[in-house]
């Protein structure tokens, strides 16, 4: 049958199992939105307050559900407003399909009104992108885009559709989506046998779990592997939940704001097994002094990550879940009681601590207790993000949704919308800083409009906290443009049509936080802390990770 380009787009989205899209209409996508109106029984469309919010929502929808997130924007500024969200998804390997409109094919390249070369702009931050100049190519492009977004190391794909392509007609025939097959072709039995041999020869192994464990949904396999190896486990920021935070082998986050046990342990181990991690600078500190006493095994799906930042002694390239499944059948349980006791002693002697009184750490710890670790947590970027990683114990993948690689302030509220839309029965809490929150707080309007009952806990210190922390430690207290004007959150919530709760004393935290979590609809929870609260431990830039500033 013959369909318009807009109809083909809808049919292909249905082929891929898409039922929720986030977006903002405009001239170049009017035919697409007209078709969305006709097919409103088939799709939930969430109109965000800004295209960036749509991209963050699609990103978090994907992270929290395991399904591909979809966002739509018009040409020109609509398309460029997606760029930060696309880059965020790219840095954290999130499968997302961004659909943009463009001017007529005949007007491309002529500096037409609201024209932008969005494929040129997004080439460095997508796995692939397309501009569809012929409606006859549209269906195949959409199908290929969803496949590319999900195969191998996932990531965002952009499809740019000129306006006439969205209305021109072409034959359409339903096709079953191409299956995603876990990658096993790049490793051999010998590769796995060498891993087993290195583990058996080790006396002090340490496991470093990255975001690949979460992306591959390999939590059970990772736990079994760690219990067989009998090794302590640390996670990167993106690995949180890939290994449960309550497990006795877990020692906390690694890196710039990692625990002493994790950082010292990795420096003292004789075998470091990195699983689905890319050895970012925030993890390694001074790479020349990182895990100097250890042989390093790197398990990752992306060959480009091998020996990119840290030289390794052995690597296995493939899907993390499949590799761990096979290793777990080959390994006999190891015994490293003295090593585990050594790490436990470090943890006991150097626990995470924070000052008395009302602090962000205390509020987040209470949030964990009141939710029993069952909430989906999104964050903005800054001190509050690090405190969330340190003090909220994540038990499952897909429950900690944060911008790791790009560090996108303004990510959390849009992300909370996407997570809530994808998980309507779940409690979703965005842990925010007041600086990050104000960047995209307009998305609270979206939460109210669609009755998405997100809770936003603003750790409010009236400064850009992480920047101020650096200014305190490294810039001789020169606080250049990091002080913020406070917001009346009661008035803000009233204007947006949501509720607000203000917490100003330590004694208020538990009762008022409990009250806020039980309220219906979106709620802003204003937690007022002192501007000089710090994130500790901290590793100075260029220092080895066991050289920790603790106060």
Question: Which residue numbers are catalytic?
Answer: 51, 113-114, 163, 466
C-beta of residue 403 within 8 angstroms of C-beta of residue 84: no
Cα–Cα distance, 16 to 300 (Å, whole number): 27
In this structure, what token pair is assigned to residue 91?
């840095």
Residue reference for tokens 């509050």 = 384
In 3D, which of 239, 221, 170, 175 has the Cα closest to residue 404?
A: 239
Q: Which tokens hold the place of 10?
A: 């809808």
Q: 417 in helix, strand or coil?
A: helix
Q: Where are the beta strands (DSSP E) in 181-313?
A: 205-209, 233-235, 250-253, 271-275, 295-300
Q: Is the peptide bond before 11 cis (omega within 30 degrees of 0)?
A: no
Task: Let me know the angle formed at the C-alpha of 358 by 429 and 346, rounded to the nearest 5 degrees.
Answer: 85
Strands (E), 276-408: 295-300, 314-317, 376-379, 400-401
350: its two tokens: 């150097």
Beta bridge partners of 253: 235
CB hemisphere CA count around 156 (13 angstroms): 30
DSSP state, 135? Answer: G
Alpha carbon distances (Å) from 391 to 168, 252, 352, 457: 54, 9, 9, 15
End-to-end Cα, the chain, rounded Å: 69
Helix (H) and strand (E) counts for the chain?
23, 22
Dihedral pair phi/psi, residue 464, rounded to 5°: -80, 95
Rounded Cα gap, residues 77 and 63, in angstroms: 26
Strands 548-549 and 538-539: antiparallel
CA distance 95 to 72: 15
CA neighbor of 298 nearest in space, from 281, 317, 315, 313: 315
Token output for 478: 């020169």
Residue 13: which region, alpha, beta or left (left: phi > 0; alpha: psi -120 to 50)? alpha
Nearest to 428 by CA among 402, 463, 452: 452
Residues 442 and 422 sit within 8 Å (Cβ to Cβ): no
């Amino acid at each position: 049958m013959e369909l318009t380009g807009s109809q083909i787009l809808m049919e292909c989205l249905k082929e891929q199992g898409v039922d929720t899209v986030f977006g903002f209409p405009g001239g170049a996508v009017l035919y697409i939105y007209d078709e969305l109106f006709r097919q409103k029984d088939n799709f939930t469309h969430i109109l965000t307050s800004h295209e960036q919010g749509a991209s963050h929502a699609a990103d978090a929808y994907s992270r929290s559900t395991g399904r591909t997130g979809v966002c739509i924007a018009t040409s020109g500024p609509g398309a460029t407003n997606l760029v930060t969200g696309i880059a965020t998804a790219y840095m954290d390997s999130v499968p997302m399909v961004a659909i943009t409109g463009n001017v007529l094919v005949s007007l491309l390249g002529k500096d037409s009104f609201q024209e932008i070369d969005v494929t040129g702009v997004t080439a460095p931050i997508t796995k692939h992108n397309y501009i569809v100049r012929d409606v006859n190519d549209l269906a195949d492009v959409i199908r290929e885009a969803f496949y590319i977004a999900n195969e191998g190391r996932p990531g965002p794909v952009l499809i740019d559709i000129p306006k006439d392509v969205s209305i021109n007609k072409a034959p359409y025939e339903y096709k079953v989506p191409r299956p995603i097959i876990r990658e096993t072709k790049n490793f051999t039995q010998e590769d796995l046998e060498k891993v087993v041999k290195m583990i058996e020869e080790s006396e002090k192994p340490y496991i470093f779990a990255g975001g690949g464990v979460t992306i591959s949904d390999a939590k059970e396999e990772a736990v079994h592997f760690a219990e067989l190896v009998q090794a302590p486990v640390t996670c990167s920021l993106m690995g949180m939940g890939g290994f449960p935070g309550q497990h006795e082998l877990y020692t906390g986050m690694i890196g710039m704001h990692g625990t002493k046990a994790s950082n010292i342990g990795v420096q003292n181990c004789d075998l470091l097994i990195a699983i689905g991690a890319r050895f970012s600078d925030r993890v390694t500190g001074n790479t020349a002094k990182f895990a100097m006493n250890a042989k390093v095994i790197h398990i990752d799906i992306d060959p480009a990550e091998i020996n990119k930042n840290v030289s390794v002694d052995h690597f296995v390239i493939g899907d993390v879940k499949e590799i761990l499944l096979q290793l777990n059948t080959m390994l006999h349980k190891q015994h490293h009681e003295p090593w585990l006791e050594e790490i436990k002693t470090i943890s006991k002697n150097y626990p995470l601590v924070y000052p008395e009184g009302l602090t962000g750490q205390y509020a987040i710890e209470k949030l964990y207790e009141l939710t029993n670790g069952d909430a989906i947590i999104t964050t903005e970027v800054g001190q509050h993000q690090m405190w969330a990683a340190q003090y909220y114990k994540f038990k499952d993948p897909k429950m900690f949704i944060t911008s790791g690689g790009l560090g996108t302030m303004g990510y959390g509220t849009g992300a909370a919308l996407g997570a809530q839309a994808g998980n309507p029965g779940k409690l979703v809490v965005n842990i925010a800083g007041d600086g990050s929150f104000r960047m995209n707080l307009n998305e609270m309007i979206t939460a109210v409009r669609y009755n998405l009952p997100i809770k936003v806990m603003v750790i409010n210190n009236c400064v850009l906290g992480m920047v101020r922390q650096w200014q305190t430690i490294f810039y001789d207290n020169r606080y250049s443009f990091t002080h913020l004007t406070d917001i009346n959150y009661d008035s803000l919530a009233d204007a947006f049509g949501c509720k607000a709760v203000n917490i100003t004393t330590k004694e208020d935290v538990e009762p008022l936080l409990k009250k806020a979590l039980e309220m219906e609809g979106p709620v802003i929870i204003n937690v007022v802390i002192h501007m000089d609260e710090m994130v500790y431990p901290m590793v100075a830039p260029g220092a080895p990770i066991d050289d920790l500033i603790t106060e």
